[in-house]
Chains A and B, each alone.
Chain A
Amino acid sequence: MAPSEALLAVRDLRVEFRTAAGLTRAVNGVNFTLDRGETLAILGESGSGKSVSAQAIMGIVDSPPGRIAGGSVRLQGEDLLQLDAEAMRQVRGHRIAMIFQDAQAALDPAFTVGQQISETLRSGGALSPQEATARAIDLLERVKIPEARRRVHDYPHQFSGGMAQRVMIALALALEPEVLIADEPTTALDVTVQAQVMQLLSELQAESGMGLILITHDLGVVAEVADRVAVMYAGKVVETGPIAALYARPGHPYTVGLMDSMPRVDRQEGRLLAIRGSPPNLMRIPAGCAFHPRCALAQDRCSQETPALLPLPDEPGRHSACHFVAEIPGRRRSEVSAEVAGLGASGEEPLLRVEGLVKHFPLRSRSLLRRSPGAVRAVDGVDFELYRGETLGLVGESGCGKSTVARTLLRLERATAGRAWFAGEDLFALRGEALRKMRQHIQMVFQDPYSSLNPRMTAGAIVSEPWEVHEGLAPREEWRARARDLLRRVGLDPDDERRYPHEFSGGQRQRIGIARALAFNPQLIICDEPVSALDVSIQAQIVNLLQDLQQEFGIAVIFIAHDLSVVRHISDRVAVMYMGRIVETGTRDQIYNQPTHPYTQALLSAVPVPDPESEARQRRIILEGEVPGALDPPSGCRFRTRCWKAEPRCAQEVPALIERFGHGHPSACHFAEARATVPVEG
């Protein structure tokens, strides 16, 4: 083996799927190499072929309908695609291992994790059961699972998402593979846990010197850990290069678009710059450059001639597949700092006031005689105000109660305690007809655009349903014209009114959901993670749309999100929740520039920043552990179990949410101090 040879070299890889509807070309000539000790990130949106490429390397493409149509995958010179099934089995796990997005599902629920790791170990060589168990404990310790000796006997369901992913990593590393493929390893995890897992992966890689292929759609994650990036679009690599140079001077219009679409926690911009349109259907990939229908630089040549992946002049190690590389602007668009809309005019009545909101879900005991065994404290005393035309970002990790706040305000759940006034009316006291009337003023946009539309109704029927349900809002003759107008306003074709939800893409469906909410002309729209199920380039379109509509109609918005970067672009004020309580609120600038609560600081610094040279990484706070169960929350300050500032006082005394730093910036920490965790530009 020549020393210059790459560890793994993929040449012109092609994978197709034959389905009833036609031939899907999922991977269309992919080229990349991976060296020892290197981390290569494969970046792309859903349907770009990044996961299928990984499956092809592992030899686990479902066949039929899948078929490897050409190319080669050389591991130290040996073409894996030529191996027979038995030889390939010897490669999988032993020389190339893989971890998946949903670790919980990838583990066998019927065996303890120790048994699963031991089994893998023993398949690699003769080991006694005792030796295998001892090695399994070693491995679990290596991936930093606390109390590994005890936990080796636990079953997968006893591990949290982050811990299960660590077990998966231990399992993958058991036979010391030369290459590890991580397919969206942190997508299903909360942002603070995601930071832990990524750090672990890069430590392990540095230790073992294996090659790591990281498949992700998250530009932030890539910037954090990768050495090199391959950007994929429609089954092809459109750009590769070392991370720093590629991020500083993207060499393909698609990469430029992706970077601009990405909401950033360290920047404050009025609007996100979206890529128009949506990724192509792989059954009908556009001729020439597949990106040309969405490209601002596209010319006639782009639709006729497929650009090859060529080295960039003057830039060592970089390749781009664009005819007009030279014309790609060196810098991204100029950063325009947004005007921060003021708080509601002083003295004005808030549109919505929430006081002491509590929602407990009692656990149902199966026995009639025993008392209820307790309650999940989803929301445990939340107060906030919202003014007309204002946007409040409500941020917290999964399970913090942010969605439950939304559901109680929408009267989808009954509040356990607390009160809320909407435009002076007691929201929780409304019954019957009065409640139905109120619904015209408070609307919702849902997280999942796939299941929030009735599959049996056309887009037109969905949008005009509000008028059908509430008599007197609009005369029946006008429904159709108004529905068409609404569809046009949210960026859809009015003729789409006859289509059913399944005929739309995710982003388009979310537009229908927004049109439905707008049909009432509401005063308040609650958006529950409206973009978290969408691709990055589509996310930006939807965030911009919401922002435009809000400004046009003067609607107040509660924007719920699990990380702070999306919220930055749209919020006037931000409230951060942890375990059912708000720990800090303030204007956007206060929260992002001077976060005072340790949790806010950690949350801000955990968000991956898509800039490899960002100094934020050096000052990163990585929280330990995960969110405790809401069944039995810690006494005193609930964050104390993960907080680096915790002192005995924190366990005894609940910190009140009071103003500790200036006007309108209350924080619930005994030791609150302002600290900038993320450098702020613009």
Chain B
Amino acid sequence: MTTDAVTRLDSASEAPRKVGIGLIMRRLLRDPVAVFSLIVLTLLLIALLAAGQVAPYDPLRQNLRLRNLPPGTPSVEEGGFPHILGTDELGRDLLSRLIHGARVSLAVGLGSALLSGTAGTALGILAGYYGGRLDDLIMRLVDLQMSFPFLLLALLVLYALGPGFLNVILVLALVRWMVYARVARGLTLAMRSSPFIDAARVTGNSDLRIIRRHLLPNLASPLVILFTLEIAALILGEAALSYLGFGVQKPEPSWGLMIEAGKSYVSTAWWLTTFPGLAIFLTALSLNLLAASLRAISDPVQRERWLNAGLRERP
């Protein structure tokens, strides 16, 4: 056969390495920053799934004799778990409320990030891929909403819908979708004219398949990073809404509500605001830190470099 005459290419690089989940985990565990955020997020996940089992006390049980106990106070009950983070103004255990509050905060953050991410990405890709009037329509809507204060819009909608857990998720999704739409549209626009999309069309891919198989995987890494950053922003958003009294309602614990309730005691009981605030800060920080590693893992070009940089023996 004639093609055998074609000179064989020398393979300068080694045989491809099988990049499995094991290798990625090994690399992650060598990175102290990633380990830190993984620990924080694992603790949060436990709180989310098994708040009832891990919390030492019922977060709603009041005891006015135990109001505003400082952190580290031993339990009044025989063999009871000490109030390591103290108690609040109604004598409820702060640690238990923090654990239960994590459930609310994370559910709102994840839920609304998923909802707004799906809707925003879909609209952004449509706008970028098809262009024309559809693009104009979607992007003018984005501009309009961008210029409108986020909290004001959320408050208006919540005022109409009434407060509540599900409504908060809905409202937060409604006010953040355009972040994804903008990013997805910009990336799609840049990628739509790239030769590999032309190649996919020449191969006979349908539009849907081009979007699903060729566009989305290439949008994935920036969007996943945006997603993690958005979760942090939305947890803060939920805290703000609850603080203003439009979010999760009392006595249900949420981090935002706890700060709101503790604000009158800032001078006498600092722990009421400090620990929920610290929880929000640590969650947002870990998500942001993990986003950097996620970017490297989800991109085959960067993955290799990332793995090599981490797994090389230190001199």
Interface residues of A (CB under 8 A from B): 20-21, 274, 276-278, 280-281, 284, 293-294, 407, 410, 412, 436, 439-440, 442-444, 446-448, 451-457, 465-466, 469-470, 489-493, 495-496, 498-500, 502-503, 505, 507-508, 513, 516, 541, 544-545, 548-549, 551-552
Contacts and interface: CB of A to CB of B under 8 A. Distances in A.
A470 B205 CA distance: 8
Interface centre among A469, A489, A496 (most CB of B within 10 A): A469
B7 A276 contact: yes
Interface bracket on B? 35 or more
Contacts of B304: 502-503
Given A456-B218, A502-B301, A451 B196 contact: yes
Nearest to B201: A412
B53 interface: no
Nearest to B6: A491
A545 B309 contact: no
A277 B10 CA distance: 5
A465 B203 contact: yes
A545 B200 contact: no
A456 B217 CA distance: 7
B16 interface: yes
A491 B8 contact: yes
A207 to B, nearest CB: 44
Given A452-B195, A456-B300, A503-B13, A548 B6 contact: yes
Contacts of A448: 195
A516 B218 CA distance: 20
Contacts of B267: none
Nearest to A294: B10
Nearest to B214: A454
B199 A444 contact: yes
B186 to A, nearest CB: 17
Interface string B174-186: 0000000000000
B140 interface: no
Interface centre among B1, B5, B199 (most CB of A within 10 A): B199
A444 B198 CA distance: 9
Given A451-B194, A491-B6, A508-B9, A439 B1 contact: no
Contact of B301 (A278, A455, A457, A548): A455
B173 to A, nearest CB: 28
A541 B200 contact: no
B144 interface: no
A495 B199 CA distance: 23
A412 B203 contact: no
A274 B5 CA distance: 11
B9 A277 contact: yes
Interface string B6-22: 11111111011000000
Nearest to A444: B202
Q: For the complex of A and B, list the 3 residue pairs with the smallest distance between their C-beta atoms, beginning with the closest.
A: A276-B7, A452-B195, A491-B6
17 contacts: A276-B8, A278-B10, A284-B12, A412-B202, A446-B195, A455-B300, A456-B218, A465-B203, A499-B16, A500-B301, A502-B300, A508-B9, A544-B6, A545-B6, A549-B3, A552-B1, A552-B3
Nearest to B218: A456
A498 B14 CA distance: 13
B196 A452 contact: yes
Contacts of B5: 548
B196 A454 contact: yes
Nearest to A502: B301
Contact of A452 (B1, B8, B10, B198): B198
A491 B8 CA distance: 6
A470 B222 CA distance: 31
A516 B3 contact: no
Interface centre among B6, B220, B301 (most CB of A within 10 A): B6
A20 B309 contact: yes
A489 B195 contact: no
Interface centre among A470, A507, A548 (most CB of B within 10 A): A548
B73 interface: no
Given A277-B7, A436-B204, A498 B198 contact: no
Contacts of B9: 276-278, 491-493, 505, 507-508
A264 B66 CA distance: 94
B75 interface: no
Contacts, number: 125
Contacts of B15: 495
A466 B308 contact: no
B196 A453 contact: yes
Nearest to B312: A20
Nearest to A549: B3
Interface string B240-258: 0000000000000000000
Nearest to B197: A454
Contacts of A446: 195, 198-199
B31 to A, nearest CB: 15
B305 interface: yes
B159 to A, nearest CB: 37
Contacts of A500: 300-301
Contacts of A451: 194-196
A447 B218 contact: no
B26 interface: no
A21 B309 CA distance: 8
B299 to A, nearest CB: 8
Contacts of A541: 6-7
B2 interface: yes
A277 B195 CA distance: 26
Nearest to B298: A456
B7 A491 contact: yes
B209 interface: yes
Given A442-B202, A502-B300, A549-B3, 10 more contacts: A20-B308, A21-B308, A274-B7, A439-B203, A452-B196, A453-B196, A454-B199, A469-B205, A491-B8, A491-B9
A414 to B, nearest CB: 13
Contacts of A507: 9
Interface centre among B10, B201, B203, B206 (most CB of A within 10 A): B203
Contacts of A443: 202
A513 B220 CA distance: 24
Interface centre among B5, B12, B308 (most CB of A within 10 A): B12
Contacts of A280: 12
A454 B1 CA distance: 30
Interface centre among A274, A412, A454 (most CB of B within 10 A): A454
Given A293-B10, A490-B3, A455 B202 contact: no
A448 B196 CA distance: 10
Nearest to A438: B204
B199 A452 contact: yes
Interface in B62-113: none
A301 B203 CA distance: 49
Contacts of B195: 446-448, 451-452
B158 to A, nearest CB: 38
A267 to B, nearest CB: 21
Contacts of A544: 6
Contacts of A444: 198-199, 202
Nearest to B2: A548
Contacts of B308: 20-21
A454 to B, nearest CB: 5
Contacts of B218: 454-456
Nearest to A277: B10
A446 B196 CA distance: 9
Contact of A21 (B12, B194, B209, B305): B305
Given A443-B202, A454-B214, A503 B10 contact: no
B202 A410 contact: yes
B129 to A, nearest CB: 14
B203 A469 contact: yes
Contacts of B305: 20-21
A446 B305 CA distance: 28
Contacts of A491: 3, 6-9
Nearest to A544: B6
A505 B9 CA distance: 10
A597 to B, nearest CB: 31
